[in-house]
Structure 1
Amino acid sequence: MSDREDWDCPLCLEEMDLSDRGFKPCECGYQICRFCWHHIKEELNDKCPACRRLYSEQTVQFTPITPEEMARIRNAKRAKAREKKEAESANRRQLQNMRVVQKNLVYVIGLSPRLANEETLRQHEYFGQFGKITKVVINKRLNQPTTGASSSGSSAQNVNYGIYITYARKDDAARAITAVDGSLSDGKPLKATFGTTKYCTYYLRHIPCQNPNCMYLHEPGQEADSYTKEDLASG
Structure 2
Amino acid sequence: MSRFGKGHLDKKGGLSGPGSGRPRAPLPERANLVNYRVVQRDLVYVIGIPVEIAQESILEKYEYFGQYGPIKKIVVNSSVHQQGYQRPTVSAFVTFCKIEDALECIYSLESFTYNNHPIKASLGTSKYCSNFLFGQKCNNQDCMYLHHNGDPKDSFTTEEIQTNSPRFTETTRPTRPPDYNKYPLQNSKETVFPPRRILNIQISDSEDSQPEEEYIEEEDEEEIHEEEEPDRSDFLKDLYRNGFPAVPPLHVDYSVNMSLMQQLNLDRASIRSYLHQK
What TM-score, normalized by structure 1, do the two folds share? Answer: 0.56
Matched residue of 1:101: which SS?
Answer: strand
Counterparts of residues 48-59 of structure 1 (less than 5 Å):
none
Percent of aligned positions with the same letter in both sequences? 37
Contact 2:81 2:90 in 1 (8 A): no
Matched residue of 2:140: which SS?
Answer: coil
- Provide the C-alpha distance between the structure 1 equivalents of 2:160 and 2:124, rounded to a whole number of angstroms: 14
User: C-alpha displacement at 1:89, in angstroms?
Assistant: 2.9
For residue 208 of structure 1, the aligned residue among 137, 147, 151 is 137
More strand by share: 1
Which residue of 2 is the match for residue 164 of structure 1?
Answer: 93
- Asked if residue 139 in structure 1 is aligned to residue 77 in structure 2, the reply is yes
- Provide the C-alpha distance between the structure 1 equivalents of 2:109 and 2:116, rounded to a whole number of angstroms: 14
User: C-alpha displacement at 1:94, in angstroms?
Assistant: 0.2
Contact 1:107 1:195 in 2 (8 A): yes
- Asked if residue 234 in structure 1 is aligned to residue 172 in structure 2, the reply is no
- Provide the C-alpha distance between the structure 1 equivalents of 2:83 and 2:112, rounded to a whole number of angstroms: 25
Contact 1:181 1:193 in 2 (8 A): no
How many residue pairs get aligned? The number is 139
For residue 117 of structure 1, the aligned residue among 32, 40, 55 is 55
Matched residue of 1:140: which SS?
Answer: coil
Runs of 4+ in 1 over 6 A off after TM superposition: none
Bigger shift: 161-170 or 177-186? Answer: 177-186
Matched residue of 1:111: which SS?
Answer: strand
Which residue of 2 is the match for residue 217 of structure 1?
Answer: 146
Unaligned runs of 5+ in 2: 1-25, 165-278
Counterparts of residues 79-90 of structure 1 (less than 5 Å):
89-90=27-28
User: C-alpha displacement at 1:204, in angstroms?
Assistant: 0.2
User: C-alpha displacement at 1:120, in angstroms?
Assistant: 1.3
Counterparts of residues 38-77 of structure 1 (less than 5 Å):
none
Contact 1:143 1:160 in 2 (8 A): yes
Matched residue of 1:142: which SS?
Answer: coil
User: C-alpha displacement at 1:140, in angstroms?
Assistant: 2.3
Which residue of 2 is the match for residue 102 of structure 1?
Answer: 40
- Provide the C-alpha distance between the structure 2 equivalents of 1:191 and 1:144, rounded to a whole number of angstroms: 15
Contact 1:109 1:192 in 2 (8 A): yes
Contact 1:200 1:218 in 2 (8 A): yes
- Provide the C-alpha distance between the structure 2 equivalents of 1:130 and 1:145, rounded to a whole number of angstroms: 30
RMSD of the TM alignment (CA)? 2.0
Matched residue of 2:77: which SS?
Answer: strand
Counterparts of residues 191-206 of structure 1 (less than 5 Å):
191-206=120-135
Matched residue of 1:190: which SS?
Answer: strand
- Cα distance per residue 1:167-201 (max 9 Å; x no partner): 00000000001111320111111110001000001
- Provide the C-alpha distance between the structure 2 equivalents of 1:112 and 1:170, rounded to a whole number of angstroms: 26
Unaligned runs of 5+ in 1: 1-87, 150-155
Which residue of 1 is the match for residue 65 of structure 2?
Answer: 127
**1:141–1:187 Cα change, 3 Å:** same
- Provide the C-alpha distance between the structure 2 equivalents of 1:174 and 1:215, rounded to a whole number of angstroms: 20
Letter in 1 for 2:28: A
- Provide the C-alpha distance between the structure 2 equivalents of 1:97 and 1:202, rounded to a whole number of angstroms: 15
Which residue of 1 is the match for residue 206 of structure 2?
Answer: none
Contact 2:70 2:96 in 1 (8 A): yes
- Provide the C-alpha distance between the structure 1 equivalents of 2:83 and 2:60, rounded to a whole number of angstroms: 31
**1:166–1:229 Cα change, 3 Å:** same
User: C-alpha displacement at 1:113, in angstroms?
Assistant: 1.4
Which residue of 2 is the match for residue 181 of structure 1?
Answer: 110
Matched residue of 1:114: which SS?
Answer: helix
**1:95–1:178 Cα change, 3 Å:** same
- Asked if residue 91 in structure 1 is aligned to residue 29 in structure 2, the reply is yes
